[in-house]
Structure 1
Amino acid sequence: MHLHKEEIERLERTYKLNLINSISGIKPANLIGTRSSSKMDNVAIFSSVVHLGSSPAQLAFIMRPQSEIPRDTYPNILETGFYTINHVSESFIEKAHYTSAKLERGESEFDRMKLEKEFIGGFHAPFVKDSPVKIGMKHMESIPLPNGCIFVIGSVEMLVLPDHSINDMGQVNLQGYSGVGISGLNTYYGLNKLDSFPYVREDEIPDFK
């Protein structure tokens, strides 16, 4: 297949949607949990969480354009300033996927998808109990993007993960807890570690053949 921009734009809508959402490769699968000021809890799956910096620790994710009747995640973040990011593992990928459904406002995905929530250390937003890696976030800034989406930036306020999943260098072993990734909108892949390489210094680059 060899497509130019004009040919891409002429593709059938669903085919194009699946194709363009897949070409970026495997993306992280995360559930973002929020709680409104009236204590209504919400959780939704996202595949756009990215690392921004380590010192200070910051992550970001992309929120789709908000309609006239916005869904719960973004309004809750703006209202309270807090949210959680929870890694998805193989044991609950189906439940995690169905949190993308458009439920009635006020109906909790935790309840509908039978995902158990938990509150840790007085943090405002709920975590997903079965998630192996739980990250408590504080909203810092939202940046409008040219396509109407929103780049949501937050600081890492809390981190909870099993000791056995971290090596002596602080690297998290995603395979060790059956972490998953997403391709496109609805296809999930298991993650297997292939190799690990040292920090690259010019005088240590191998003589590749």
Structure 2
Amino acid sequence: MNKKLVNAQAKHFNASDIDNMVQRVRANFINSLSGFKSGNLIGTRSASKKDGTKGVDNLAVVSSVFHIGAHPPLLGMIMRPHTVPRDTLQNIKDTGEYTINHICASMVEKAHQTSARYDFEESEFEKIGLTPQMTDQVKAPYVLESHIKLGMQVQDIQLLAINQTELVIGQIVEVIVEPQWVSDDGYVDIEAAGSVAISSLDSYHSTQRIARYGYAKANEKLHTIPVKKT
């Protein structure tokens, strides 16, 4: 197909076009534009009650996790405005701990079901059929069925005035991953582990690696890094 013809047929959306979209259409449209995002289940536990009753385990699908720094190991996560009850965010604020669990292909349907609005006293683990896993490092539950799991401790929570979303910054204090997915240079092969990506609000994708490249230097030929078979 002629390249000029393709460009000529492309639709241009201006700010007014976007602003006038139906709310759900606009949400799907804008969420698609940021590309593929990591698919994660965030595990939390509500604070224990004064009578000693254990808190309720909560699970929520989130696609807004991103890298902040490696030393200390920090990840950010954007949470939607707290204008309605947000059990995950409230639990994180109350306890200071949470887990990030990669979604793998075998659990996509159950993971997406966590976006339903269950009552605060109901555990998504029980409702959708995933298994909580506890360790001594964090008091929040992991997802046993996940292949890559991160234990997190809150370092900062910032309210973003522009749209009232909240930025949660956490430090990684524990990583649970099978050794065959970790290369000698520290590279974690999330594709081999079966981690999936999310686009827009509701589309799940498996991945296929094109290549892994070495550190790029000016005036030097780029070289590929072989990835070990698992």
Q: Which amino acid aligns with 1:170?
A: G
The TM-score, its normalising length taken from structure 1, stands at: 0.94
Q: Is the 8 A contact 2:147 2:177 kept in 1?
A: yes
Task: Tell me, yes or no, if structure 1 residue 139 matches structure 2 residue 159.
Answer: no
Question: Could you tell me which of 180, 186, 190 is aligned with 2:202?
Answer: 186
Which secondary structure does the structure 2 equivalent of 1:188 belong to? strand
Gapped regions of structure 1 (runs ≥ 5): none
Q: Work out the percentage of aligned pairs sharing the same amino acid.
A: 39
* Alpha carbons 1:116, 1:129 under 8 Å: kept: yes
- Structure 2: distance between partners of 1:90 and 1:142: 31
- Tell me which moved more, 143-152 or 10-19: 10-19
TM-score by structure 2 length? 0.86
1:61: which partner in 2? 77
Question: CA deviation digits over 1:68-121, x for unaligned, max 9?
Answer: x52211111111110000000000000000101111111110110111111023
Query: Are the equivalent residues in 2 in contact too, given 1:71–1:105 (CA < 8 A)?
Result: no
- Of the structure 1 ranges 88-97 and 4-13, higher mean CA displacement relative to structure 2 is found in 4-13
Are 1:88 and 2:98 matched, yes or no?
no
Pairing 1:94-113 to 2, within 5 Å after superposition:
94-113=109-128
State how 1:1-209 maps to structure 2 within 5 Å.
1-38=11-48, 39-67=55-83, 69-145=84-160, 146-204=162-220
Give 3-state SS (helix, strand or coil) of 2:183's partner: coil
Once the two structures are TM-superposed, the CA of residue 26 in structure 1 deviates from its matched residue by 0.4
How many residue pairs end up in the alignment? Answer: 205
Q: Which has the higher contact order (CA 8 A, sep 6+)?
A: 1
> Do the aligned residues in 2 keep the contact of 1:174 with 1:191 (CA within 8 Å)?
no
CA deviation map 1:28-69 (0-9, x unaligned): 0000000122221101000000000000100010010002x5
Q: Which structure 2 residue ranges, 5 or more long, are not aligned?
A: 1-10, 49-54, 223-230
Q: CA RMSD in A?
A: 1.2
